[in-house]
Amino acid sequence: MRLVMKFGGTSVGSADAIRRVTEIVGGYARDHEVVVVVSAMNAPDLRTTDTLIAAAKAAAAGDGNATAQVTPRLLDLHMRVANELVTPEERAALEPEIRAMLDYMSDLSRSIAVLGELTPRALDLFSGLGERINARLIAAALRSAGIDAEAIDATELIVTDDRYGNASPIEPDTRERSRARLLPLLAAKRVPVVTGFIGATRAGVPTTLGRGGSDYTCAILGADLDADEVWFWKEVDGVLSANPKVVPEARTLPRLSYAEMGEMAYYGANVLHPKTVQPLVHRRIPIRIRNTFNPSHPGTLIDAEGDGESVRAITAIKGLSLITVGGPGMLGLTGVAARIFGAVARAGANVLLISQASSEQSVCFAVPGDEAAKVVNELRCELDREFAAHDVEHIGTIAPVVIVAVVGSGMRGTPGIAGRVFGALGAAGVNVIAIAQGSTENNISLVVSEADADKAVRAVHGAFVTTNGGNE
Q: Which residues are annotated as a binding site for ATP?
A: 6-9
C-alpha radius of gyration, the chain, whole number: 25
Binding-site annotation, residues for substrate? 49, 131
Give burial (CB, 10 Å; 0-12/13-18/19+) of 183: middle
Amino acid occupying residue 415: P
- How far apart CA 7 and CA 28 sit, in angstroms, is 14
Amino acid occupying residue 426: G
For residue 87, count other CB atoms closer than 10 A to its CB.
14
Binding-site annotation, residues? 6-9, 49, 131
Four-CA torsion 436, 439, 444, 449, nearest 10 degrees: -10
Ramachandran assignment for 139, one of left (phi > 0), alpha (psi -120 to 50 degrees), beta (any other): alpha
**CB under 8 Å to 335, separation ≥6 — which residues?**
none
- How far apart CA 32 and CA 25 sit, in angstroms, is 10
DSSP 165-220: TS--B-TTHHHHHHHHHHHHHHHTT-EEEEESSEEE-TT--EEE--TTHHHHHHHH
**CB under 8 Å to 328, separation ≥6 — which residues?**
361, 390, 391, 393
How distant is the alpha carbon of residue 451 from its chain centre? Answer: 26
For residue 237, count other CB atoms closer than 10 A to its CB.
17
Q: How far is CA 418 from CA 95, 363, 413, in A?
A: 59, 22, 11
